[in-house]
């Protein structure tokens, strides 16, 4: 096995097929197909089976995938280790949408000015998806809200450092629901991101502390859409004040404090033992408060 073959194998899995993997890797499809076939011959087993128009991993392919992820991550780490500890190469950073909008623009601009030889790749997602991306080495690190469950980031797999604190606010229609506790919002729809969003979990925990649950949850994919629905009277939401103020969305709704539960650390999380000069430079910027 060589690293190039493993890179192609991983791309086919992630992109769910040869065509998209070839485009991602800037290769022709026939080359990708040939390299996969050669890898299968080297291993003496099939890695994929075709199910209609889809490629599905065989049990052998499922077994190989985590090894491939670890080998490729280790190779990347080795490249950084022998490069005089100067940030260079590629840094894949995962982040929540709210963080990407309110906290990271200045950090990323400063980072690019200081280390132009590093290629930054940014991917957004909810907290649960970001944790999985770090675990599988799909990103080098992620900036995410501290999960509400303390065992979500086991010490044997992850390392992290707090980089700033967000204040969550209960968002209600202007003038209609002067809510100061979860009980005032009982029976209303909670407008939120999909399951796996840490802020949604904090909102649900806040409700639970009052012995109340929202009538239902309406899932949307952006804070602009969430606030628009709340402003129109569709329900209530929980969101970081920094995002609402930056996007000037706070003028359309009323904001209410959530107490101690509404103060949530944002963490920089990486896979234990998987560190680099490029990631260290990003950590230093975030911890120093350049956001």
DSSP string of 65-116, one letter each residue: HHHHHHHHHHHHHHHHHTTTT---EEEEEEE-HHHHHHTHHHHHHHHHHH-T
| Euclidean distance between CA atoms 279 and 31, whole angstroms | 33
What SS3 class is residue 244? helix
Choice among 6-10, 84-88, 152-156 with the minimum mean pLDDT = 84-88
Average pLDDT of the segment spanning 82-106 = 85
Range ranked top by mean pLDDT from 98-112, 184-198, 202-216 = 98-112
Average pLDDT of the segment spanning 145-173 = 91
Q: What is the CATH number of the domain that holds 173?
A: 3.40.190.10
Say yes or no: 271 and 250 in one domain.
no
Say yes or no: 138 and 207 in one domain.
no
pLDDT band at residue 55 using 50, 70 and 90 as cut-offs: confident
**pLDDT of residue 251 exceeding 90:** no
**pLDDT of residue 101 exceeding 90:** no
Say yes or no: 257 and 180 in one domain.
yes
Q: Is residue 18 part of a domain?
A: yes
**Residues 108-145 pLDDT 10s:** 999 999 999 899 999 999 999 999 999 988 899 999 99
Give the mean pLDDT of the chain.
86
| Euclidean distance between CA atoms 69 and 65, whole angstroms | 6
Say yes or no: 175 and 247 in one domain.
yes
| Euclidean distance between CA atoms 170 and 240, whole angstroms | 9
DSSP state of 221: S
| Euclidean distance between CA atoms 16 and 62, whole angstroms | 14
Say yes or no: 119 and 137 in one domain.
yes
Query: β-strand 217-219 against 158-173: which pairing, if any?
Result: unpaired
Say yes or no: 259 and 170 in one domain.
yes
**Nearest-5° Cα angle at 36, 33 to 40:** 135
Q: Is residue 41 part of a domain?
A: yes
Q: Is residue 206 part of a domain?
A: yes
- Contact (CB, 8 A) for 271 and 134: yes
Please return the burial class of 216, using the count of CB atoms within 10 Å of its CB with bins 0-12, 13-18 and 19+: exposed
Q: DSSP for 145-189?
A: EPPSSGGGS-TTTEEEEEEEEEEEEEEEETTT---SSGGGGTTSP
Say yes or no: 140 and 274 in one domain.
yes
Average pLDDT of the segment spanning 283-287 = 93
Q: Is residue 257 part of a domain?
A: yes
pLDDT band at residue 216 using 50, 70 and 90 as cut-offs: confident
Say yes or no: 127 and 14 in one domain.
no
Which structure tokens are listed for 223?
A: 């804070």
**pLDDT of residue 84 exceeding 80:** no
Residues spanned by the domain of 30: 3-78
The number of folded domains in the chain is: 3
Say yes or no: 183 and 100 in one domain.
no
Say yes or no: 276 and 144 in one domain.
yes
Say yes or no: 22 and 94 in one domain.
no
pLDDT band at residue 291 using 50, 70 and 90 as cut-offs: very low
Q: Is residue 39 part of a domain?
A: yes
Q: Is residue 197 part of a domain?
A: yes
Q: What is the CATH number of the domain that holds 23?
A: 1.10.10.10
Q: Is residue 83 part of a domain?
A: no
Statement: the pTM of the whole predicted model exceeds 0.85: no
More confident residue, 186 or 47: 47
Q: Residue 248, Cβ neighbours under 10 Å: how many?
A: 8
Among the candidates 16, 48, 78, a domain finishes at 78
Say yes or no: 276 and 139 in one domain.
yes
**Nearest-5° Cα angle at 236, 230 to 239:** 90
- Contact (CB, 8 A) for 196 and 152: no
């Amino acid at each position: 096995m060589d690293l190039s073959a493993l890179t192609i194998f991983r791309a086919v899995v992630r992109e769910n097929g040869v065509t998209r993997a070839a485009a991602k890797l800037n290769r022709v499809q026939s080359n990708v197909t040939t390299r996969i076939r050669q890898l299968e011959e080297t291993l003496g087993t099939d890695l994929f089976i075709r199910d209609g128009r889809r490629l599905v991993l065989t049990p052998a392919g499922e077994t190989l995938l985590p090894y491939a992820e670890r080998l490729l991550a280790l190779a990347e780490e080795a490249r950084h280790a022998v490069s005089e500890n100067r940030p260079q190469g590629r840094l894949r950073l995962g982040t929540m949408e709210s963080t990407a909008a309110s906290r990271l623009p200045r950090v990323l601009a400063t980072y690019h000015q200081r280390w132009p030889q590093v290629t930054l790749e940014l991917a957004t997602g909810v907290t649960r998806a970001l944790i999985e991306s770090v675990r599988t080495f799909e990103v080098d690190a992620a900036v995410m809200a501290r999960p509400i469950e303390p065992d979500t980031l086991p010490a044997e797999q992850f390392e992290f450092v707090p980089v700033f604190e967000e204040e969550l606010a209960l968002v209600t229609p202007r003038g209609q629901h002067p809510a100061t506790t979860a009980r005032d919002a009982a029976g209303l729809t909670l407008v939120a991101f999909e399951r796996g969003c840490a802020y949604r979990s904090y909102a649900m925990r806040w409700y639970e502390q009052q012995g109340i649950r929202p009538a239902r949850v309406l899932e949307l994919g952006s804070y602009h859409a969430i606030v628009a629905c709340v402003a129109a009277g569709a329900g209530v939401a929980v969101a970081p004040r920094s995002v609402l103020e930056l996007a000037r969305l706070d003028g359309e709704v009323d904001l209410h404090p959530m107490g101690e539960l509404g103060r949530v650390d944002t963490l920089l999380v990486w896979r234990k033992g998987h560190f680099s000069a490029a990631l260290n430079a990003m950590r230093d910027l975030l911890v120093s408060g350049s956001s």
